[in-house]
Amino acid sequence: MIIRSARFIKSSTKLKDCPEADRAEYAFTGRSNVGKSSLINMLVNRKKLAKTSSTPGKTQTINHFIINENWYLTDLPGYGYAKVSKSSRKHWEGFTGEYITKRDNLISLFVLIDSRHEPLKPDYEFMNFLGLKGIPFARVFTKSDKISSNSLSQVMAAHDRHMLEKWESLPPTFISSAITGKGREEILKYIEDTITFFEKRP
């Protein structure tokens, strides 16, 4: 997949406010601060397209970007940040949950996991939920520049073991770094291989 253009469309807080679901869409989700917005910028080669921050909770809305004037890439708010209150957690579950389960044109979600973290409950609860709902997803281990390849192999093996306790097989899995660009080709290839184009409704 060659990225020729990337343009911000809009921020939404409800499914019904999102752009029309008439094009293939890929969405990025994961814990606050895991690097969703940075990964999007790295993929499309634009430093400041999606807003990033070292303070967790930066992305609070569903943000749609159109790529090659052809398909959507979506930045979702993060979940599971320890300092977030129960009520804002419920809010996330409500509006992001609605988006994830009802957005018909969503081809795949990317669930981002910090490469330095052992398996964490919110991530696997979330992936189990996706499994129950039959929503396709891939895992991305982010910030791989912050860890040695040996340690990363160990972390990933722990994640795979954890996942295989409940799952029969593992989802597509990528390793990324927004600093070095690692994973860019592989993730764009996955998008190219899975994308389906929608006939625009008359």
Between residues 9 and 195, which has the closer beta carbon with respect to Mg ion? 9
Task: Note whether 59 binds Mg ion by CB under 5 A.
Answer: yes
Residue nearest ligand GTP by beta-carbon distance: 78
Residue ranges binding ligand GTP (CB under 6 A) = 32-38, 52-54, 56-59, 78, 142-143, 145-146, 177-179
Pairing of strands 71-75, 62-67: antiparallel
Minimum distance from CB of 72 to Mg ion (Å)? 16
Minimum distance from CB of 142 to Mg ion (Å)? 12
Q: How far is CA 8 from CA 21, 72, 175, 181, in A?
A: 16, 10, 25, 21
Task: Note whether 37 binds Mg ion by CB under 5 A.
Answer: yes
- In 18-120, alpha helices (H): 36-44, 86-102
Query: Strands across the sheet with 137-142, in order?
Result: 6-12, 62-67, 71-75, 25-30, 106-114, 137-142, 173-175
Minimum distance from CB of 28 to Mg ion (Å)? 8
Task: Note whether 38 binds Mg ion by CB under 5 A.
Answer: no
Question: Cα 26 to chain center, whole Å?
Answer: 8
Taking CB under 5 A as the criterion, which residues in 157-196 touch Mg ion? Answer: none
